[in-house]
Chain A
Amino acid sequence: MSTGGRGQDTGTCFHCALPVPADCNLNVDMEGELRPVCCPGCKAVAELIRDSGMGRYYTLRDIPDPGVGRPPAETTEWQVFDSEDMLAAFADQSPDHAETTIYVGGMYCAACSWLIETTLGKLPGIESVDVSPVTHRVRVRWRLADARYSDILATLARLGYQPQPLAPDNATRPELIEQRIALKRLLVASLGMMQVMMFAVGLYAGEFQGIDREMQHFLRLVSFVVTTPVVFYSARPFFAAAWRGLIAKKPGMDLPVSIAVGSAYAASVFATFTNGEAVWFDSVTMFVFFLTLGRFLEMRARHRSIDRSTALSAKLPNTATRIEGDSNSVVPVSQLVAGDCVLIRAGDAIPADGIIQSGSTSVDEALLTGEARPQLKSTGDLIAAGSVNLDGLIEMRITRTGGDTTLGTISRLSERARYTRPAFVTIADRVASYIVVALLGVATIVAACWYFVAPERAFVITLSVLVVTCPCALALATPAAFAAAGSRLSQLRLLVTNGNAIEALSRATTVIFDKTGTLTRGMPEIKSVMVLDPSMTERDCRLIAAALETASAHPLARAFSMGATLPKVSRQHVEIGRGVSGTIDGRHWRIGSARFVGGGAANGSKSTGPSASNVFLAVDGDLVAWFDVEDELRPDVAATLAAIERLGLRTALVSGDNRNAVKDLATRLGITDFYSECTPKRKLEIIEAAQRNGERVLMVGDGINDAPVLAGADTSIAPAHGALLAQTSADVIMLGDSLQPVTTAIRMSSKTMRIVRQNLAWAIVYNALALPLAAAGLVPPWLAAIGMSASSLIVVLNALRLSRFN
């Protein structure tokens, strides 16, 4: 399969792609052409496939005719990657070799990976090709002298795939390496365990049937040879962790594990060479295998959530066509800066956040918003990195690149959660640490007791006690569940940015919603303008309003933004949640709520619907105009609120809007508890009052101009508003247009905590039962190893149930 470097002159087998031995003259007749095969087996299979009419399989495997599928990619597009800069950025280099990972879009099945491996392997200078169909990644290693990066990429593109080089500093790398090493350790442990178990069966059978000493000695010797790498390679992480714990004076659960493995191994080696009573190589290998397996499964659960965030970055293209005066040039995306203009063809991913300069198209924003329908965009509209340009040719001026884009922010926020350690886990760890110390004490007492009662059994029983009571299940109970929950939530378009969020959500008793931008979409529009001052036109009012509102971050302010040249404002002042004042041409203007503006505005106030708000404009104390600003409700607000009430939580609504608008909305949605014309300070007071009543508050709001409100609540969920995402301080962010994820988050959190409690209960019950049994000498070491592993496996599997949560 890895055909690299062998050259084609010897010929490769038509079926299995390995070199055909020189003395082999076998052929298979494929549609009139004789193809070489390497052995009768391959010949038989190839003929079988041909005769059953499955010959298509080979064509699927082979390079499709040019012109089939996607048009051949321009090779020039790939040549960018041959430059020193690009190689340095995307590949690991040694003096003669380079190695890189390529994300291959459009890879569907095992045949694809076969195809990629054989085709790339046949290129000159390719040393190895490693395809992972599940993660859609190809790892290639080539000789710099004989092959070029662009050849590899162009070949993949010619095959009809969409190659995307991944930079080595990509977040996947450390995980991949970690996983590869863990897999190797697991492989060694499993191989060793199988072998040693077989010898052990022989030894146990021998104990009953009688066995001659040479045979026994031989089997022990072989077991020793096989166990050694298992102890020194597979179990090394446990020893290392135990040692670290000792140095830090915080004994972890690896300590009893290491003592058990180390002493059992040492005693067995001693017994082997002194012809002692018994050896425990089987228990040692089994113990190490199950421990390694448990850790491996837990790691997989943890990594799955990372896979998603790297899938986010995989959506960015690597190159972009930059417009430079009259000419265009292809540059790496990393070289783009804000202000550049780029050309985006149909089918390309958007390389950075920006504004369309010319052209119109529909884009797929599913990655960012979960919205599957294409969104129409034309000149002046914002488009976000990572979305895909579906049909038109557009020119875009870049506003933000790299980590500053919405996509980059989302990735960074989900990183943040990974590095905050939930308080719950820290407590569990500390408890486990006490248990470890207690356990070592108990083991010592057990050893001492048995030493006086039956010295020959003391060692085995102590060994069993150490193994069977390993608090692994206890230590895994919480992190395994949290990892699984986090990963599932991100699939459900909920980004957890704080490790403590899940626990806090599960305890929430009250949900307080913000109105604008939360229950509504946050994309306000001016529906009508009522001008009271005859000397002014509607346009005058809008211009002045737009100029004043430039200073405001309030969601409604966005309704006023205009492309035109705005009058200059001096002494501009924002009162958060109320309005903006400023001086234009010597006159003092105020825009905002009725109370803020004054001048009899409150009398003019009227409601035009539950999702509409009135914004007033006054000059020198006289009301000039009012605007009906409407922000559409999110589609499933009513259903979500009903679902939350069904879960037994109290709902409330707080808003800075005028009383009538808020009341209308609350009545329509059946919310009895609502507060209007709230400043951020007032919102915080409402939350604190609820908390004094013993309620635990989940605040759902965008937090853009009232971050302290989110921070004051026990936990918070914010809808993602593209541009302002980076400023959010919410514990959980929901992507997309729907409000329903709030319910999902609450349900998921209580389910997670239920599973955590089950896991903890199980771990405690298990240890409470196993300890007396083992201390009484009723559990042989091998059974102890199985019991311990089963208990932690149950915990991990129980946690993984969360990944199917709906």
Chain B
Amino acid sequence: MNEAMPLVAAALVTGLLGSAHCFGMCAGLSGLFAVNASVASLQSQIPMAIAYNTGRVLSYAFLGMAVASLGQTVVDAIPDIAAPVRFASGLLIVIVGLQVAFNWRFLAPVEKAGAKIWQRIAPAAKGLLPVTNLPRALGLGLLWGWLPCGLVYSVLLLAATTASAVNGGLVMLAFGLGTSPAMIMTGLSASKLSQFMSRKRRGAGLLIIVIGLLTLAMPIMKFSSGSDDATHSQHSM
């Protein structure tokens, strides 16, 4: 639990300050709600947006648990891999930070693969449009979590390195929650927020990189202080 905290923190910041790109997509979507509800008042949009985001975050959490279980299987199967994996997750956070700061796309190929999965899901999503009621919004959110997106994939990788279903779920939950304020507030001030984000992109990236470096420093600190690394890590998971 303790050890996953920096990862959860990194995921939250990534979600919160993620990338202008996500906000572009989100703002579009909530505009879609608005177009459909012909007399869309802000008040009526907010519950919809909340339902939709709940769905999306649940999807992320589910995906996080799934990949982290996979990670756990791998870690359990290979005896001495726990420490390198933790090192890898620190490195991954740094990479995510770089991605946010410079709008790089390390995972473009994976996005293409993800697009294939999405093609299976799209018909179901189509059935939920137009979004007219709360269950539909929730359903659309659940499916939306599967949209091909490089940022989601990189945080998923991070979740996998926790090698624990609970922690993996937590990481993705934090990421999803981080992305939510902007989505829910789209009608209110997302444009402002998104501009704020894109202006602060570098800063956000840097913040994530710092968390990554700290995560990397942890095993090194332990190692150099000579404490019994293996027993503690098992203990706290």
Contact = CB atoms under 8 A, between A and B. Distances in A.
B222 A130 contact: no
B28 A45 contact: yes
A21 B99 CA distance: 14
Contact of A110 (B8, B27, B111): B27
B134 interface: no
A355 B31 CA distance: 45
A44 B5 contact: no
A60 B32 CA distance: 10
Nearest to B199: A2
Nearest to A52: B129
A113 to B, nearest CB: 6
Contact of A134 (B23, B32, B188): B188
A1 B194 contact: yes
A43 B147 CA distance: 10
Contacts, number: 166
Contacts of B35: 54, 56-57, 60, 109, 111
B40 interface: yes
Given A1-B195, A222-B6, A222-B214, A18 B186 contact: no
B25 A42 contact: yes
Interface string B20-53: 1101110111111111100010100100000000
Interface string A197-219: 01101100110011110110011
A400 interface: no
Contacts of B148: 39-41, 44
A39 B150 contact: yes
B209 interface: no
B125 A15 contact: no
Nearest to B16: A191
A739 interface: no
Nearest to B221: A214
A783 B218 CA distance: 31
B8 A40 contact: no
A212 B218 CA distance: 12
B225 interface: yes
B126 A201 contact: no
A57 B31 contact: yes
Nearest to B121: A44
A45 B29 contact: yes
Contacts of A198: 5, 8-9, 12
Interface in B180-237: 186-192, 194-195, 198, 214, 217-218, 221-222, 225, 227, 232, 235-236
A54 B21 contact: no
A33 interface: no
Interface size class of A (residues with CB under 8 A): 35 or more
A109 B40 contact: yes
A13 B24 contact: yes
B74 interface: no
B45 to A, nearest CB: 8
Interface stretch (B64-72, B77-85, B112-120, B159-167): B112-120
A80 B40 CA distance: 36
A196 to B, nearest CB: 10
Contacts of B25: 15-16, 41-42, 45
Nearest to B40: A109
Interface residues of B, number: 64
Contact of A211 (B2, B28, B126, B150): B2
A268 to B, nearest CB: 18
Interface string B75-101: 000000000000000000000000000
B122 A51 contact: yes
Nearest to B33: A110
Chain A: interface secondary structure? helix
A109 B187 contact: yes
Contacts of B23: 1
Contacts of B189: 132, 134
Interface string A114-127: 10010000000000
B24 A51 contact: no
A38 B105 CA distance: 11
B221 A218 contact: yes
Nearest to B111: A40
Contacts of A134: 42, 187-189
Contacts of B232: 212, 215
Interface in B109-153: 111-112, 114-115, 118, 122, 125-126, 129-130, 147-150
Contact of B130 (A13, A15, A52, A210): A52
A54 B131 CA distance: 11
A110 B189 CA distance: 9
A52 B34 contact: no
A133 interface: yes
A635 to B, nearest CB: 31
B225 A128 contact: no
- Max chain B C-beta neighbours (<10 A), residue from A18, A109, A198, A212: A109
A117 B27 CA distance: 12
Nearest to A57: B35
Contacts of B34: 109-111
A62 interface: no
Contacts of A133: 187-188, 191
Given A56-B35, A134-B188, A214-B222, A206 B118 contact: no
A48 interface: yes
Given A51-B122, A134-B188, A209-B236, A44 B24 contact: no
B2 A194 contact: no
Contacts of A222: 6, 214
A111 B190 CA distance: 12
A47 interface: yes
A689 interface: no
A449 interface: no
Interface in A205-238: 205-206, 209-212, 214-215, 218-219, 222
A202 B2 contact: yes
A214 B227 contact: yes
B191 A131 contact: yes
B2 A206 contact: yes
Given A15-B28, A40-B115, A198-B8, A219 B225 contact: no
Contacts of B28: 15-16, 45, 114
Given A16-B27, A132-B192, A214-B227, 20 more contacts: A18-B20, A45-B29, A52-B129, A54-B129, A57-B31, A109-B40, A110-B31, A110-B190, A111-B34, A113-B191, A117-B191, A194-B12, A198-B5, A199-B9, A209-B235, A215-B232, A218-B217, A219-B2, A222-B6, A222-B214
25 contacts: A2-B20, A2-B195, A16-B24, A39-B149, A39-B150, A40-B114, A44-B147, A45-B25, A48-B122, A51-B122, A51-B126, A109-B35, A110-B187, A110-B190, A113-B191, A114-B27, A114-B31, A132-B189, A198-B9, A209-B235, A211-B2, A214-B222, A214-B227, A215-B232, A218-B218
Closest 5 CB pairs of A and B: A16-B24, A52-B129, A40-B115, A109-B34, A40-B148
